[in-house]
Amino acid sequence: MTDITLDRRNLLSELVPNPERHLMISGLAGASKDAAAFTDDGANLFTMAGTMGASVSMGLGVALSAPDKDVIVFAGDGELMMNVGSLATVASMMPANLSIVCIDNGCHGETGGQPGHTALRTNLALMAEGAGLPSVTTIQTQEEVAQAAAFLTEAPGPRFLWARVMTGPPSAYKRNFNLAECRQRFRDTYLNQTS
């Protein structure tokens, strides 16, 4: 397998060149920092805090309730492993408008950088395929990003993209931690885009 050379800090802007067209949910820590930096903490992004493992389930609910909108979940590998069963639920419900992007640095960055399961033997793409998701792909080099961006718009949904990135810090962005305000902002955007 090729060495991992993908830098997470530029990844999202290249994967999703038109973020305003999507409703987006991001998981904890690094994934939320990356997503907030990418959108400048946009109103169409709901960043999670203190809810490890909930981003895919939240994204599924948004996708099912807004079938005419493109929904993207950005999750870290540790957070996804916390609720890997959510992939089976996504496959059972089959929302064609849902994409899941797992930003996997192979370590637990928030607790000291200990190696995570995917740094050892766990293959999240195989887990997504086994759950029944119809479109699954993996990237780990910069040269694969354009193909992955096309995958997110062209492959049958729901889609799972396992983005294996280099270890290192996420985007340096201080997002809004007033969760009530963020929830209301996202709700208003959701209602405006789906009404």
Structure confidence by residue, pLDDT tens digits, 89-101: 999 999 999 999 9
- What Cα–Cα distance (Å) separates residue 176 from each residue in 101, 138, 179? 22, 31, 8
* Residue 120 structure tokens: 């050892």
Give the residue extent of every domain in the chain: 8-194
pTM: 0.94
Structure confidence by residue, pLDDT tens digits, 128-171: 999 999 999 999 999 999 999 999 999 999 999 999 999 888 88
At the fourth CATH level, the homologous superfamily of domain 8-194 is Thiamin diphosphate (ThDP)-binding fold, Pyr/PP domains (3.40.50.970)
CA distance 98 to 152: 9
Q: pLDDT tens, position by position, for the chain (195 residues)?
A: 458 999 998 899 999 999 999 999 999 888 999 999 999 999 999 998 878 889 999 999 999 999 999 999 999 999 999 999 999 999 999 999 999 999 999 887 777 778 888 888 999 999 999 999 999 999 999 999 999 999 999 999 999 999 999 988 888 888 888 888 999 999 999 998 877
Look at residues 61, 18, 34, 57 and name the one whose alpha carbon lies nearest to residue 170.
34
